[in-house]
Structure 1
Amino acid sequence: MFKKKPQIKNLSPLRSSDRRKLADQIIAEYQIQVPAPPQTLDENGATTLDPNPTSLTAIRSSLLPENCLSARFNTHAGPHSKLVSGTIYVGSQPGQEERILWFQIGQSDQRLYPTVYTLWQNPGLVPLLHTQEFVVEKLRSGADLMTPGLTRGPPFPEKAKKNAIVAVASIEKPSVPAFVGVCEIDVSALEQVQGAKGHAVKGVHWEGDELWAWSHGGIGGKQAAEKIDGWDDSANVVGLSKGVESMALEEDDADGQEGGVSLEETKNDNGGTHRASSERSDADEQEAEPSTQEIDQAFYNAFLFALHNARKNGSPPHYGIDLPVNPSMLISHFIQPYLPIHSTSQAQYYTMKKTSWKNAKKFIKYLDKQALVKSKDRSGGETVIFDIDFDDQHILDFIPYRLPKPREDAGGGGSSQTPSKAVNTASDPSVNQNLSLQTLLRPSSKLVPDLLPSKTDFYTPNQISSFLRTYIDQDPELTTQSSSPRFIKLNPFLANNILGGSGASNPTTQAADTKALAAGEIARDVLQKRLLEDTHLCQPYWVLLRGDQKWSSADPSLPKPKSGTPPKLSVIIEKRTGTKTVTKIGNLEVFGINPEILAGELQKKCASSTSVGQLVGGKPGQMEVLVQGDQREVVEKEVGKRGVDRRWIEVNDKTKKKAKK
């Protein structure tokens, strides 16, 4: 079902009470056995049940982790590309990556479907069917499992009845579910499969589809292990099986304790032990959140550190600092590298929004008030530093402190990066990619075969220019009978097929054609320009090549050219709510850039809030990144690291005042 990438809206944390309700719904629907709570004796010697059995909480956490997020999604599926919407639930088990664990489709079907990640973590959750490896490969392409494809039966699992959710594995990896679907027939009642016809299981999700490939960091899907303990293919019954037809919420679920119940160490089905995700060792405990005054002092000290370092290593008058310094440059070069952040947990607190200034403009005004710098307001509301007092006593007396070990920037610039909530560029596959945006032209039948050999092939502008030179060289009269070597004498082919045709719809072009036809000759460069730019003669196409790829019509491994002029990466600077300036970046997907990853990197580089949303006017699923402030320079640098040439960037500054007519 998820062959096409779904459009996922903003993820939001799932409340603990809602998470427990959903977990209980799953326990009931999948008939998961919950061990009876231990019995205890009260003061009167009567037997009572423990109201908070850890086994129930452990099962809930295994099905839906405490860090669970949810979001709505839209996608197109089926032979008629029907629009489908639903909800996904994202979470991560301790020590694992964040993945989509469950999904719900449409409004009529309220069932929660597990992804393969959930099945790998919870053996025996659904009945497991088997088929040949080559059939699994077909299933991964979106096919349904046909009845003759079933193996290892009969008998088949008892719970594999019509409309039941089941998993499918290959007989080569029998303990690794690779496909999730719904039984279209009562598989458990089959007495033989040889000679049978029809669909057995309709697929909804599989290893390799877009749900499997989704991740916050854009690193792609995770491959399964060769073997997963606990999937007993002979009985399909382990700790998460048999049992609960319905389950009421305990009274303690409504007591306002949103954090859930802390788990003790409990035995798992393989005889081992596991510990609840809420428990943390001393080394993993998050540090206490610093006060606003402490964060303010850290930012101020970081600026002093940067100036002290520049004064130590540079030469007057500016000690290697390029003035003026804009807000984004201030944060990325003078603050972030010098913040005393030594752990990821600290990084979430040391952001500009956590300071008393809230934004870089007020911070610059504060530095100006302290006589450290001189600032001024530019048109558009941006405040910059245009002078620095390097002889200030605070800079001279500054004592450097220990900084975290610097990491090389992914772009090779050598600048240090501090830990932050942003995604590390080491996991960004677009960093350092080599892109080549090639313009191609497909000729009309008018030019074939006299000038060009084929109307179905694509040619580069240089190739078409070369064909034109060859055509002229093969007919000496075109140059010898013209008034100048710069001009070409018009023959019937040039006059009828290139000039004066339906392509001359522009009045200027029509006038030039009429003049050339009257003179009987045309300049070489004018003829070449007309040939390349008239869409009635050569239809424009484009293709994005990667690495060392070179365009050739004979190479089937190259991407298929797309019609139209080459795309541009869109950067729009505009005002929001009167005075606030924002930068919007669109058309990133064309160049292989993940908007989510870029947003995280821009949040770190610009020290500004970022968001990712649907591109206005774009196709469903085409996203744009929004950054606070005028960040065009930082954006140009970051997309440059990802292979986007400056010529492919289109900047539209809507903050400039329109000139009066």
Structure 2
Amino acid sequence: MFSRAFRVRSNTAIKGSDRRKLRTDVAAAFPNLSAEQLTEFIPNKEELNVIKIYSHKGEAVTVYMNNRNPILFEIEKALYPTVYTLWVYPDLLPAFSTWPAVLPKLAGGADLMLPGVVVPSSGFPQVEQGTLCAVTLLGNRAPVAVAVATMSTAEMLAAGMKGKGFAVLHTYMDHLWEYGDKSCPPTLAPLVTDSAEKESAEDEEEMEGKEPVISFSTDPLQRVDVGDLSLKERDSCAILIGKEELGENRAAGTAEDASTEVQQEAEDSRTPQEQMDALFNQCFFHALKCKVKKSDLPLLTSTFLRSHMFSCCPAGQQLDIKKSSYKKFSKFLQCMQHQKILQVRELNKGVESIVEVDWKHPDIKAFTVPEGFSSASAAQESKSEDREQVYHAPEIISLYGVSTKMLPLFQESGHRKGSILSSSEVRSIVINYVKTNELVDETNKKCLERLQPLHQVTFSGQEPVVRKGNIEPIDITIAQRSSNKKVTIIKNLELYGLDPQCVANILQQKVQASATIAPVPGTKDRVQVQIQGNQIHHLAKMLLEEYQLPRKYIQGLEKAPKLGRKK
């Protein structure tokens, strides 16, 4: 229901009479809450807000907020707790467990299929069709989803654990969760029965040759074929951090040769989506281990992907988040945050940054640099961790695309519409055409003007990138704020491989003035740096001398304050 963004219609504080009515409704909906818990849940004096929203499907939903977090949502007079509430009261609803790899699917709007439900040794909770339930991940009692059972417990077992078991309403990592403080689920120890269940499940994985207790096969090839939300996703999760780690995880209790054979079969059976997931994880851990330093934090997530992960991609392969199971890079980072590898925060509206990394996390420590990357470069990267990363200005070349009007001129030389040429190539083709057709006109120089402008950008150590249009210059402007104060605004730093947050931090230290980053109005993924005062002199020295960017790609340097004695 909240897998896509919703529209807020109103946001008001709750009245005293409505607060009392809400407490009565909560007591009726969740009778297992004690009087003390009910008072804690719906406090007498703390401010509660009522938010009216419309989901992406047009459904009217009422959300109750307490302490910045949504605690309840109401649909057609039925109350449902959020994951924030279930983390405080984990036993409020009957719970069913699933594999961790299923969570991104649920957050993306999928319902929970029965093949993806873990059957505990103690049996399922007894529920009827339409019962409100919680969904947990194996090994942690903290719920990650709220769902309605589509059939009773008896019907689930009678159906052989096939078909849709739960209609999911709300999950951790969906947009309702994002409306709160975006905290992660706590780690709650399973009950005794859950612990026995986990050990049983682990034993089943290790005993390759025995019959499993539940209906899932331990053979990796057979796992791939079990339902939409079955162990296929769990198997995908198992190979995320590299080929070597999959062999280690599945080698417990078996001979080394047998483990290698199973590993090879699992690799051969991977879908293109699973291969892209594995590639993203490899580049993610490679970037954290070899590229990112503690001094780089906070680091824009877009910069982390573009400048760090892309450079860790093996030759002949290309990262494409759309071809992965995550679909969005923010969802991928949320999954990593759920594993407590890093922490992402929205430092400014619409701008997310990595603010913390657990460098001692076992997955980071266990990662080894792939063979495709030379040990010399890895050693050099490791050696440079204690010093600032040197910025190399990109090489920018103006190019031209053959347009429809100019096609007859370039057809004879074997070019088609859309062919990309440099100015020297255009000049050579035109000269040959003039000579061949005995045409001479010294005054006609409009050829380049009629071609489609393009440009090529080459960053140090990366493949050239060709983009349409002329490259936008770094734009520096001076704006007037309240109390006649001036601020300097810098845009388009990202186009030249500069991290706006790093530039803001350096400027702040140099001029001892407040510097912030904010979204560029009218854009989705562009940000601008804003610093107090007219700081163009310092900017010019940084961009021209330290970063060695050509002056023609910087706009606004003429607005620097004139130096002289104050009268």
Query: For this structure pair, what is the TM-score category when the shorter chain's length is used for normalisation?
Result: 0.3 to 0.5
TM-score (norm 1): 0.37
Q: Larger Cα Rg: Structure 1 or Structure 2?
A: 1
TM-score (norm 2): 0.42
Q: Which has the higher contact order (CA 8 A, sep 6+)?
A: 1
Structure showing the higher helix proportion among its residues: 2
